[in-house]
């Protein structure tokens, strides 16, 4: 809590943007969990991803922000929305939850909360040194240098794996006349 007060006393506009984004992220994430309508939940999750991209931009990681918006908010959330809309959601599903299921969910959630609080209290927060600031940290150039120098073999193996997966998907999706439908 002292860190937040210190951040606000600094008077920098970035501090207010950071705290506003944090508050909006927490509100949207809590609505993801508490929303009864699954479509509203997915839309709140998209808002959460956009807020996280704002945090990435504040951390000078523009590439991660763009990838987060394109991959998560773009592709995966559209997939979630289509899946939810294709499912036949009935009101009977809410009545199927027994008291035992609700108690188990509360116990698991409580254990996870205690575990997270314990981990956060034991961890140390890194310090910020404005004199050692490097404006190229989150840019694509640094990521490319690391990928093509230190992680060249895993990068190439993943590209081969993606190629095999694409060929397999095309072969599985292609039906010829007289083939059986599985």
The CATH number that applies at residue 51 is 1.20.120.1200
Q: Are residues 52 and 125 in the same domain?
A: yes
Averaged confidence pLDDT in the chain: 79
Range with the lowest mean pLDDT among 90-104, 136-150, 162-176? 90-104
CA distances from 21 to 3, 35, 56 (A): 16, 20, 11
181 in a structural domain:
no
> Backbone phi, then psi, for 125, in 5-degree steps?
-90, 135
44 in a structural domain:
yes
Name the more confident of 114 and 38.
Answer: 114
182 in a structural domain:
no
83 in a structural domain:
yes
Question: For residue 54, what are the contacts with CB-CB under 8 A and spacing of at least 6?
Answer: 17, 21, 65
Range with the lowest mean pLDDT among 5-9, 67-71, 106-110? 5-9
71 in a structural domain:
yes
Q: Specify the number of domains making up the chain.
A: 2
> Backbone phi, then psi, for 177, in 5-degree steps?
-65, 130
| 111-154 per-position pLDDT tens digit | 999 998 998 888 877 676 767 767 666 677 877 888 788 888 88
Q: Are residues 68 and 25 in the same domain?
A: yes
- Please tell me the pTM assigned to this model: 0.56
Domain that includes residue 24, residue range:
2-90+99-138
User: Measured between alpha carbons, how far is 56 from 64 in angstroms, rounded to an integer?
Assistant: 7
């Amino acid at each position: 809590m002292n860190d937040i007060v210190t951040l606000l006393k600094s008077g920098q506009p970035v501090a207010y943007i950071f705290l506003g984004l944090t508050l909006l992220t927490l509100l949207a994430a809590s609505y993801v969990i508490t929303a009864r309508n699954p479509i509203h939940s997915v839309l709140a999750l998209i808002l959460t991803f956009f807020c996280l991209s704002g945090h990435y931009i504040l951390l000078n990681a523009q590439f991660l922000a763009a990838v987060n918006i394109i991959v998560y908010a773009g592709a995966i959330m559209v997939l979630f929305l289509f899946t939810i809309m294709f499912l036949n959601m009935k009101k009977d599903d809410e009545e199927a939850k027994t008291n035992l299921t609700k108690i188990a969910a509360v116990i698991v959630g409580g254990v996870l909360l205690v575990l997270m609080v314990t981990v956060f209290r034991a961890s140390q927060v890194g310090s910020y040194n404005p004199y050692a600031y490097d404006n190229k940290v989150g840019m694509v150039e640094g990521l490319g240098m690391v990928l093509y120098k230190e992680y060249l073999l895993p990068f190439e193996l993943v590209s081969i794996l993606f190629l095999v997966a694409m060929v397999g998907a095309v072969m599985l999706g292609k039906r010829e006349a007289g083939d059986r439908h599985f």
